[in-house]
Structure 1
């Protein structure tokens, strides 16, 4: 899938999980916690493509992300060679270890431990990186200043101005990272190529078995199905969820609607 679709799907799932999930576990959600979770989920939905040399994740942070990609790709290839089964084919560089559920969970646990131990630096750093990735993925929808500048401003705003801020996310923000990475893998699974989501479980004598949707339902990344159907649906879903689940947004939207109606009536 394209970066814009990954970012939108991550944002939509993040909003749904943070917004509706808080009711299931009876923990009050704030606008800050919901938006932080959704933003991190949206950016993390581009992270698995760090194993591709020309992806948004690889090119976003100059030499730092390029170096990270050059570490991830050979590591994934080595792991592939060490664990492949008799029917596995390929090299394991792209859509390898970074597209597995185990890797997503591991990264999420590390973020959880780090944010629980060091608090704000890890939380704000994670939010900034993920916002920069998400905004870059949404470049087609968000023109204007460089995404790193926007990401820095939004990180500050989320921490200082949004009700609830980011403080309450320490210790569990890694769940948003893991979820975003899983959303990415599932998004790739419905395109023409599957992903080894269940590695290292052996499936049909393959440990890197490409999980995917039924072939009749798969579509080409960047093709007309994604750009004409999937992209617009994800955009509408994300906006609708933001209104429904972010505390304070629905009353504000209703108040604005009433204000506009009064203006039209008086005119």
Structure 2
């Protein structure tokens, strides 16, 4: 799947699960603001497994910085669709986010927010076209402004943020399992799991059917879970 599709899938899963899973897993009900913020950040987190792709959407979102980062991760993880496309990576991203928020405090939380926002802005194509300096400098500026804005609404230690990170990462894996190459969910076991719905990344099924349906579903879900409760109160 393309980066845009992964981001939409992450947003949709967060919006759909926010009223149910956080109360069950975290013991807390999310505010409308938490649902809206989490939906955007989960969209960014849905690109994290592609840190192993030296030429994917994620490789260009921070210019030379992300290029170097992706090449390093690809080298450490064994290349594209290996370690970072596993359930182990999902657990590590969730646990790592929780540990950073818990032990490193507000600066880590805001740094993670900036990183995920930049990913979401890039994946959702909210920047000038292309991969040049204009694009990635705009992404960084928009992410910085967004982080400053979210700082006024985000709790000191948002318990929903590690959940959003892990869910977005999982959404990416589920999306890749719909393609011909699948994903090695049980890495280091090398078997790849797939239910081929998308034979080629960016084909008509993905761009003309799945993406519009997921986009519409996300907005409908957000209306019922985050917007209408605020309007009614």
Question: Smaller-chain TM-score range?
Answer: 0.7 to 0.9
Q: C-alpha deviations, 1:178-225, integer Å up to 9, x for none?
A: 21111101101101211101113xxxxxx2111111x4x343210011
Paired position in structure 2 for 1:138: 124
Which residue in 1 is equivalent to 2:192? 210
Unaligned runs of 5+ in 2: 129-134
**Which residue does the alignment assign to 2:8?**
8
Q: Is 2:46 the counterpart of 1:45? A: yes
* CA apart distance, 1:172: 5.0
Bigger Rg, which one:
1
Give the superposition deviation at 1:74: 1.6
Q: Is the partner of 2:151 in helix, strand or coil?
A: helix
Query: What RMSD, in angstroms, separates the aligned Cα atoms of the two structures?
Result: 2.2
In the TM superposition, what whole-angstrom CA distance separates every residue of 1:155-184 from its partner, at most 9, and x where no partner exists?
Answer: 222221xxxx21155355222212111110
* TM-score relative to the length of structure 1: 0.76
CA distance in 1, matches of 2:49, 2:24: 29
CA distance in structure 1 between the partners assigned to 2:53 and 2:93 by the alignment: 18
Determine helix, strand or coil for the equivalent of 2:190. Answer: coil
Counterpart of 2:151?
Answer: 159
Contact 2:176 2:182 in 1 (8 A): yes
1:105 is matched with 91
The Cα shift of 1:118 comes to 2.4
CA–CA separation in structure 2 for the residues paired with 1:126 and 1:114: 9
